Structure 1
C-alpha cells in the first residue's frame, strides 16, 4: 500500500511531527480559541494560519534541500551528500519562528 514512497526514518519523523502538530493545535484551539494578530508576516494571522504557512515553508525547505543536496556536494567539495537531518532541523526552526513571531 505504501510502496510508492521511500519511507526512510527522516521522512517518517517529518510526517509524525506534522501529525502531532495538527493534533496539538486542534486541542489548543478547543481549549483557547485564537484571535488575529500581526507579526512579521504581511497579514494578520491566527495560529492555524501561521501553522499552515509554516508547514508549507517546512515542506519547501525539505524539497529544496533534497533537490540541492547533490549540488552542495560539488559546491562545497564534500565527500558525500549532507544529511537530510540538517534540512529537518532547519525546517522545524523556521516553522517555530513563524509560529512564534509570524
Structure 2
C-alpha cells in the first residue's frame, strides 16, 4: 500500500495546495477535500497520497498530495470528475497549487 513518503530519494511529484478560506467555512472545505480524495482522487492512476491540514487560525487549508509523476498529476487535472471537485473547492476558497520535489529532509 502506498503511503506519504518525504524522502529525497523518492521520485515523486508533490502538490502543495494552500487554500485561503473564511474561518466559518474551513471545516466545510476540509470535508469537501476529504470526500473528493476518497471518492475520486485516490482512484486516479499515479495517485500516491493526500494529507489535508487545517490551519490553526481557521483561514487556511493545505492539501499535501503526492503523485507518481507530474504527468499523472496533469492527467488527473483533465478528468471531468476531478474538475467538478476542484470547482466545488474554488467556489468556497481561493487556491494556490504548486508542484514540488523534496530537496532536503532533517530528523532529530
TM-score by length of 1: 0.33
Query: Please, what TM-score do these two structures have when normalized by structure 2?
Result: 0.32
Q: Which of the pair has the greater relative contact order for Cα pairs under 8 Å at 6+ separation? A: 2
- Higher normalized helix content (fraction of residues): 1
Q: Which of structures 1 and 2 has the bigger CA Rg?
A: 1
Higher strand share: 2
